[in-house]
Amino acid sequence: MNRPAPVEITYENLRFLITHNPTNATLSKFIEELQRFGVRTLVRVCDATYDRGPIESQGIQVLIVEDWLNLLKNKFREEPGCCVAVHCVAGLGRAPVLVALALIESGMRSEDAVHFIRQKRRGAFNSKQLLYLEKYRPKMRLRFKDANGHCCVQ
């Protein structure tokens, strides 16, 4: 399978790396990519096809997607500007949807979030995912103030 290269999505203080699912055979190159972008947290949105031990031994926390928005709220509050990687199988569906949800929760309109991600990740989103994002109603869970009272995401 020919998989797209990892792509970084940055909006205000939010940074994401959308990537594909590695295998044990491609794990060392995958870890190099994560390190190149300064990733300290990797969220998995599909079944594991690799041993997470080598990733965690490099100081990168590997999580499954259970509480995505709370994870991001805590992560970006504790480490503003950090990069959170997220992958699904090909990095074209579920992973971009999660990044889009984060952008929408930070105040971006859904159509703008889709366009913003597609500028860097061609082929992202299928029609069901687009409909879901269009109907999604944010609660602005990623708009918060930092320790100095400044809004971190606007």
Q: In which order are the strands placed within the sheet that holds 14-19?
A: 7-11, 14-19, 83-87, 39-44, 61-64
Binning pLDDT at 50, 70 and 90, where does residue 148 land? low
Which pLDDT does position 32 carry in this prediction?
96
Answer whether residue 151 shows pLDDT above 80.
no
Which pLDDT does position 154 carry in this prediction?
39
Which pLDDT does position 59 carry in this prediction?
96
**For range 135-148, the mean pLDDT:** 75
**For range 117-130, the mean pLDDT:** 96
Which pLDDT does position 13 carry in this prediction?
85
Type of residue at 22: P
For 143, the token pair is 């708009």
DSSP class of 5: P
pTM over 0.85: no
For 147, the token pair is 């320790």
Answer whether residue 153 shows pLDDT above 60.
no
With beta carbons less than 8 A apart as the criterion, state whether 83 and 37 touch.
Answer: yes
Cα 68 to chain centroid distance, Å, stands at 9
Q: How far apart are CA 38 and CA 46, in angstroms?
A: 22
DSSP class of 152: S
- The better pLDDT of the pair 101, 13 is held by 101
Q: How far apart are CA 38 and CA 33, in angstroms?
A: 9
DSSP class of 20: -
For 76, the token pair is 């970006």
Type of residue at 134: E
pLDDT mean across residues, the chain:
89
Instruction: Determine the Cα angle at 83 with ends 132 and 63, to 5°.
Output: 70
Which pLDDT does position 150 carry in this prediction?
53
For 20, the token pair is 């594909």
Q: What is the pLDDT of residues 20-74, one digit of tens each?
A: 999 999 999 999 999 999 999 999 888 888 999 999 999 999 988 767 888 998 9
Binning pLDDT at 50, 70 and 90, where does residue 141 land? confident
